[in-house]
Amino acid sequence: MTAEIINGKEIAAKKREEIAKEVEKLKENGVTPGLAVILVGNNHASRTYVTNKQKSCQELGMHSILIEMPEEVSEEELLGKIDELNQDPEIHGILVQLPIPKHIDEKKVIESISPLKDVDGFHPVNIGRMMTGQNTFLPCTPYGIMVLLEETGISVAGKHVVVVGRSNIVGKPVGQLMLNQHATVTYCHSKTKDLKSYTKQADIVVAAVGIANFIKADHIKEGAVVIDVGINRNEAGKLCGDVDFEEVSQVAGYITPVPKGVGPMTITMLMYNTVKSAAESSNR
């Protein structure tokens, strides 16, 4: 079997057209969706991600500001800035790019962002809302995965989903979103014994472990859906996912590539959440 490729770039482009129309409508009503991104320090990968977020805002006609803070910035100063943005009516979404320097308490920072502007969906209030199936901002990468499946016509109801990885940003929430849509969910992680015995049973595998080419063909049931969240570099410095694409695409029914799979969906859902926030703020 050769897997069908789930083209994240194409699906993201389609979603962005819909978002651009929503931006136009809001602007006609005098509201320009605005995103504030805070970048602390000089992490190279973070800078690239932040630049791409800014670019996407521009392409969609949204307002965006980038606040750069030095590595040594105090927690107090960062929290002060967030408070200012919480009060700013032109800003509908606030994102502090993670990771942040170790001397700053990440939990405090996340909790200081107003849940009404938490377009990352990281605030405990929004996580609680997600868990109980209420209207909220869903975290962007997990949300993007759900949209990829929906747009490909893959229903998760009744399916066995195995999530490999348990991060707060991807693993935990993607399992919850699958559960909310009636999947049977198993979480595996670095301490799981005999990982293959779980992944082999899966109708859908979500790989979010951060290890290059970790998932091999013999982890996967014939015809399964394989979602690769990894962004790694192999020994040759080439961008690759957590899934050994060459091998696994011979066994799987559907597979997301890296790049052009899950990646383009993350920023798209960030744009979606910011526009949703702007629309909701104008209804308050």
Instruction: List contacts with ligand GUN (CB under 6 A).
Output: 95-98, 120, 140-141, 169
Least Å from the CB of residue 9 to ligand GUN: 18
> Which residues, including other chains, have CB under 8 Å from residue 38's CB and lie 6 or more apart?
67, 69, 78, 81, 82, 94, 95, 96, 97
Least Å from the CB of residue 263 to ligand GUN: 11
Instruction: Select the residue whose beta carbon is closest to ligand GUN and give its number.
Output: 98
Q: Which is nearer to ligand GUN, 140 or 147 (CB)?
A: 140
Tokens 């109980």 -> residue: 132
What six digits make up the tokens of 256? 């997301």
Annotated catalytic, 120? yes
Least Å from the CB of residue 148 to ligand GUN: 16
Which of the residues 53, 117, 159, 221 is marked catalytic? 53
What six digits make up the tokens of 45? 């990968």
Q: Which is nearer to ligand GUN, 65 or 98 (CB)?
A: 98
Q: Which is nearer to ligand GUN, 224 or 231 (CB)?
A: 231
Q: Are 93 and 121 in contact (CB under 8 A)?
A: no
What six digits make up the tokens of 129? 């809302």
Least Å from the CB of residue 35 to ligand GUN: 11
Annotated catalytic, 54? no
Check residue 243 and report its DSSP letter.
B
Orientation angle between helical segments 263-282 and 44-59, nearest 10 degrees:
50
Greatest Cα-to-Cα distance within the chain, rounded to the nearest angstrom: 56
| Annotated binding-site residue? 165 | yes
Q: Which is nearer to ligand GUN, 46 or 192 (CB)?
A: 46
| Annotated binding-site residue? 167 | yes
Instruction: Give the pairing type, strands 225-228 and 184-188.
Output: unpaired
Residues for the chain: how many in total? Answer: 284
Which of the residues 15, 81, 117, 120 is marked catalytic? 120
| Annotated binding-site residue? 231 | yes
Annotated catalytic, 201? no
Which of the residues 15, 81, 97, 172 is marked catalytic? 97
The Cα–Cα gap between 64 and 34 comes to 5
Question: Which residues are part of the catalytic machinery?
Answer: 53, 97, 120
Annotated binding site for NADP(+): 165-167, 231
Annotated binding site: 165-167, 231
